[in-house]
Amino acid sequence: MRYLIASSIGLVAALAASSASFAQNTDSYDYDALGRLVNRCSATWDHGFRQSYALDSAENRTNVLASDEGRGLLPGGSFTSSDGRFTFTMQADGNLVLRGPSGVLWHTGTYDTSGAFLAFQGDGKLVVYKGDGTGAIWQSGSYSLCSRLIVQNDGNVVIYATSGQAIWATNTGGN
């Protein structure tokens, strides 16, 4: 098990213990320019949990938004851009497809893999798995714990690291 502890001035301390009975877990903390905690994320390779904090003018926490980072799509499921024009769909034939008003913009090419499903893992990888779960048939190649997957209104699907840096994209923006 590995713990990362970060201070508000950017110092990081790491503690590690080795044991076959524990999964690796990483906690990350994001602070604003005034040293206030604004995000906390705890993740393993396959699951993550994020808490975001809103502060009022007196620096009191006014809102805590918690989200489960272990998302995915079963066959027929989709993520949609906030304006509703773009859909990122896990088709029943096993192909992951991004569609916009003009038609198909991007796809994984993983046809004839009936029952395949999509997992957006806690380690930042977007993976299409065989229907029986025995192995990956496509993956984004990205890696960043506690990252976010967004179907943007410009037609691009992007995985962002906690730093805000894009670590993977369909490169279909501008539609």
pLDDT digits (tens, 9 = 90+) for 34-75: 887 776 666 655 555 555 556 677 777 665 555 555 578 899
Selected residue with higher pLDDT from 6 and 27: 27
SS3 122: coil
Selected residue with higher pLDDT from 121 and 85: 85
Identify the sign of the CA torsion 67, 71, 75, 79: positive
DSSP conformation class of 175: -
* Backbone phi, psi, residue 139, to 5°: -150, 155
CB 168 within 8 A of CB 131: no
What number is the average pLDDT over the span 154-175? 90
Of the candidates 99, 96, 98, the one whose C-alpha atom is nearest the C-alpha of residue 110 is 96
**Structural domains of the chain, ranges and CATH numbers in brackets:** 2-68 (no CATH), 71-169 (2.90.10.10)
Record the pTM: 0.67
pLDDT > 90? residue 90: yes
pLDDT > 60? residue 95: yes
Predicted pLDDT at 22: 46
DSSP conformation class of 10: S
